[in-house]
Amino acid sequence: MLWEKVVVTARQYLDDKNINDSAEFNDIMFKMKQVDFDWNMQFSAASLMCEIVWKIAIGKENTQEMRRLDKLFSPSPIATHANFRGCNSYKTGTMPEKGALVIWRRGNSWQGHMAIVSNVWDNGLFDVIEGRVLVGSQSQFIQVQEQKGKQSNLPFRDDKLNIIGFIYPPNREIA
């Protein structure tokens, strides 16, 4: 299933693989997108990592899907969530599932965060794999980390990140 490939791909970057050296990161269209959308903003590393992992998992040979993902992903997690919610090809919801993107919003602002759900536990907790800019990095090195024990049912806080939803990968077999 595709969700398995998403999680396996994301986990590869936890080890010794450098997401900054990804072929998707160095693609000409992707570089143009970075310039057009100002990927240098504070939350862009998470968005960038999620987009790269989904594109690798889905596969470059699926050019129609790659073009669709180019339009759906944004440097803003909030805009990405809105784009996917308006697309008939992808489902969104409020429950964590492995391989899904989880989107947070800071209070009611336009700022947010994005990660990939790597595990879901029976008690409502879930783990995520996320990208962050390595502190003090001049070359915008993206560090990929796994965070455990996230909750989706926390009360709203204006000064914190609040989950606004999940974006699920297409439910299909991968060759």
Say if residue 94 is exposed, middle or buried (CB neighbours under 10 Å; 0-12, 13-18, 19+): exposed
Task: Give the pLDDT band of residue 173 (cuts 50, 70, 90).
Answer: low
Is the model more confident about 136 or about 5?
5
Evaluate if residue 134 carries a pLDDT over 60: yes
Evaluate if residue 78 carries a pLDDT over 90: yes
pLDDT, tens digit, 9 for 90 and up, residues 138-151: 556 778 889 999 99
Query: What mean pLDDT do residues 9-17 have?
Result: 84
All structural domains of the chain with their residue ranges: 2-168
pLDDT, tens digit, 9 for 90 and up, residues 28-73: 766 666 666 555 556 677 888 899 899 999 887 788 888 899 899 9
86 within 8 A of 147, measured Cβ to Cβ: no
pLDDT confidence of residue 45: 79
pLDDT confidence of residue 68: 92
Mean pLDDT of all residues belonging to the chain: 84
pLDDT confidence of residue 36: 62
Percentage of the chain beyond pLDDT 70 is: 82
What are the residues whose beta carbons fall under 8 Å from the beta carbon of 108, sequence distance 6 or more? Answer: 158
Within 10 A of 91 (CB to CB), how many other CB atoms are there? 16
Is the model more confident about 83 or about 25?
83
pLDDT, tens digit, 9 for 90 and up, residues 89-127: 899 999 999 999 999 999 888 889 999 999 999 888 999
Is the model more confident about 140 or about 75?
75
